[in-house]
């Protein structure tokens, strides 16, 4: 008989929780607990990026409080086993990723094993297992920061991936936490289609997929979830948004370098419809990013399409997950620093998608959505996937 295990995967770029310490954490956690309460998973995987925030040297101390608050909360008490991995060792610059992964196993779920990369074998998961540090001696996790030569032209930062492997009943899975590079300048992002940043993310993602599919360890179905920093194809989008406008390019006095792009309506008192600078993307009709979950813009979301040979994703029915206002009175408002985009994603191998049990009777069996859509969650809304995983007991 086919059995299944209810699984909840969540990815969250938590930089804002540390940059504005204490302001949004309580409500943020409430929204997470609410999601757990609604979907009642037996296995939870939480993948965090930017632990410690931008000022990680100053704020990393709060990371321990955050993880402790979550794991010891009343809401999590029925999860009797956990494995927690937090790379908070910012002193080790060449390996620091600021990634954190938390896995919780419900007391009703028996028979969970985790892979030990050293002995190349699975072992039963018992009790609470918590590792904070550089993680380089922890044998149940594999962590890698992208090598410097990956983007010679860009500032090297805390980007990388972290993998754990599981057997739930008899079903093996790779769970990979990932953080890819962002668009440093909105102006450079407009230069070509695909942008130079998009090409970089593409290389890094290929690298990760090749790494987890190499033959060092048995190849397993995988879920790859994190902050991919995927952006809309900015050049095509700007051409579309500025169709009936006059476009001016303002250059810096001394050089030929573009400083801003201004699109004004031809009539209507020449109202500025769109203005773009290195860190400004101000579009007059912001509602287009929210209405109908931004569906009109999905055709500009092209970065996953390059991986159709190896990657699948459930249909996106939620608005772009970034960059939301960090003011708690404006939970659905976007900041005008970047063009809104679906940065936070849950991707999977074809073999992993085949393990999702789809039932005709309940449409709610597979849900791909944001956590806290109407609450301030920081600049990234966490994204979750709830589904029944096909598992066999024999």
**Is residue 74 exposed (0-12), middle (13-18) or buried (19+ Cβ within 10 Å)?**
exposed
**Residue 268 counted as domain residue:** no
**b or e along 342-381 (b: 16 or more beta carbons within 10 Å of the residue's beta carbon)?**
bbbbbbbbeebbebbbeeeeeeebbbbbbbbbebbbbbbb
**Residue 280 counted as domain residue:** no
The 8-class DSSP code of residue 333 comes to: P
Return d(Cα 57, Cα 378) in angstroms, integer: 20
Q: What tokens does 373 get? A: 């859509």
User: How crowded is residue 258: how many other Cβ atoms within 10 Å of its Cβ?
Assistant: 18
DSSP 104-162: EEETT---EEEEETTTTEEEE--SEEEEEE--TT-TT-EEEEPPGGG-TTS---S-EEE
Return d(Cα 115, Cα 124) in angstroms, integer: 9
pLDDT tens profile 318-361: 999 999 999 989 999 999 999 999 999 999 999 999 999 998 76
Domain enclosing residue 138, as ranges:
4-233+286-390
Reference 15, options 6, 7, 5, 25; nearest CA is 25
Question: What dihedral angle (degrees, nearest 10) is formed by the CA atoms of 196, 197, 199, 202?
Answer: 180
**Residue 150 counted as domain residue:** yes
**Residue 48 counted as domain residue:** yes
**Residue 252 counted as domain residue:** no
pTM listed for this prediction: 0.96
User: How crowded is residue 68: how many other Cβ atoms within 10 Å of its Cβ?
Assistant: 12
Return d(Cα 161, Cα 70) in angstroms, integer: 22
**Is residue 89 exposed (0-12), middle (13-18) or buried (19+ Cβ within 10 Å)?**
middle
**Residue 253 counted as domain residue:** no
Return d(Cα 31, Cα 52) in angstroms, integer: 20
Q: How far is CA 76 from the centre of its chain?
A: 22
Return d(Cα 289, Cα 242) in angstroms, integer: 15
Q: The domain spanning residue 303 has which CATH number?
A: 3.60.10.10
Number of structural domains (the chain) is: 1
**b or e along 109-133 (b: 16 or more beta carbons within 10 Å of the residue's beta carbon)?**
beebbbbebeeeebeebeeeeebbe
**In angstroms, what CA-CA distances link 279 with 3, 185, 241, 336?**
50, 6, 18, 8
**Residue 267 counted as domain residue:** no
Can you name the residues that pair with 28 across neighbouring β-strands?
A: none
pLDDT of the chain, 394 residues: tens digit per residue:
678 999 999 999 999 999 887 779 999 999 999 999 999 999 999 999 999 999 999 999 899 999 999 999 999 999 999 999 999 999 988 899 999 999 999 999 998 999 999 999 999 999 999 999 989 999 999 999 998 777 666 666 789 999 999 999 899 999 999 999 999 999 999 999 999 999 999 999 999 999 999 888 899 999 999 999 999 999 999 999 988 889 999 998 878 888 999 999 988 788 999 999 999 999 999 999 999 999 999 999 999 999 999 999 999 999 999 999 999 899 999 999 999 999 999 999 999 999 999 987 666 689 999 999 999 999 999 999 999 999 876 5
Helices 61-71, 25-39: crossing angle, 10 deg rounding = 30
pLDDT tens profile 196-218: 999 999 999 999 999 999 888 89
**Residue 175 counted as domain residue:** yes
């Amino acid at each position: 008989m086919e059995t299944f295990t209810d699984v909840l995967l969540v990815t969250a770029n938590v930089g804002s929780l540390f940059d504005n310490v204490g302001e949004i954490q309580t409500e943020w956690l409430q929204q997470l607990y609410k999601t757990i309460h609604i979907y009642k998973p037996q296995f939870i995987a939480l993948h965090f990026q930017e632990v410690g925030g931008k000022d990680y040297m100053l704020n990393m101390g709060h990371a321990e409080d955050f993880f402790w608050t979550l794991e010891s909360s009343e809401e999590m008490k029925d999860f009797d086993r956990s494995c927690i991995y937090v790379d908070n060792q910012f002193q080790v610059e060449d390996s620091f990723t600021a990634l954190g992964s938390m896995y919780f196993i419900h007391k009703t779920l028996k028979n969970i094993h985790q892979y030990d990369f050293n002995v190349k074998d699975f072992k039963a998961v018992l009790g609470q297992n918590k590792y904070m540090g550089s993680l380089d001696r922890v044998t149940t996790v594999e962590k890698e920061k992208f090598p410097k030569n990956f983007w010679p032209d860009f500032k090297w930062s805390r980007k990388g991936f972290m993998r754990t492997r599981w057997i739930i009943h008899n079903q093996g899975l790779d769970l990979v936490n990932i953080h890819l590079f962002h668009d440093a300048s909105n102006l450079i992002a407009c230069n070509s289609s695909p942008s130079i940043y998009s090409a970089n993310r593409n290389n890094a993602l290929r690298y990760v997929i090749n790494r987890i599919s190499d033959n060092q360890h048995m190849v397993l179905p995988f879920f790859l979830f994190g902050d991919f920093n995927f952006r809309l194809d900015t050049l095509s989008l700007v051409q579309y948004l500025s169709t009936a406008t006059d476009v001016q390019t303002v250059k810096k006095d001394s050089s030929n370098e573009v400083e801003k792009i201004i699109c004004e309506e031809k009539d209507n008192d020449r109202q500025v419809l769109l203005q773009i600078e290195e860190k400004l993307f101000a579009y007059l009709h912001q509602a287009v990013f929210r209405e109908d979950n931004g569906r009109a813009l999905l055709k500009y979301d092209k970065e996953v399409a390059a991986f159709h040979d190896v990657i699948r994703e459930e249909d996106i029915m939620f608005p772009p997950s970034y960059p939301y206002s960090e003011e708690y009175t404006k939970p659905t408002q976007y900041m005008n620093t970047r063009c809104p985009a679906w940065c936070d994603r849950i991707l999977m191998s074809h073999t992993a998608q085949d393990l999702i049990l789809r039932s005709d009777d309940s449409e709610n069996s597979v849900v791909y959505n944001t956590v806290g859509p109407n609450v301030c969650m920081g600049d990234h809304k966490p994204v979750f996937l709830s589904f029944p995983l096909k598992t066999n007991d024999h």
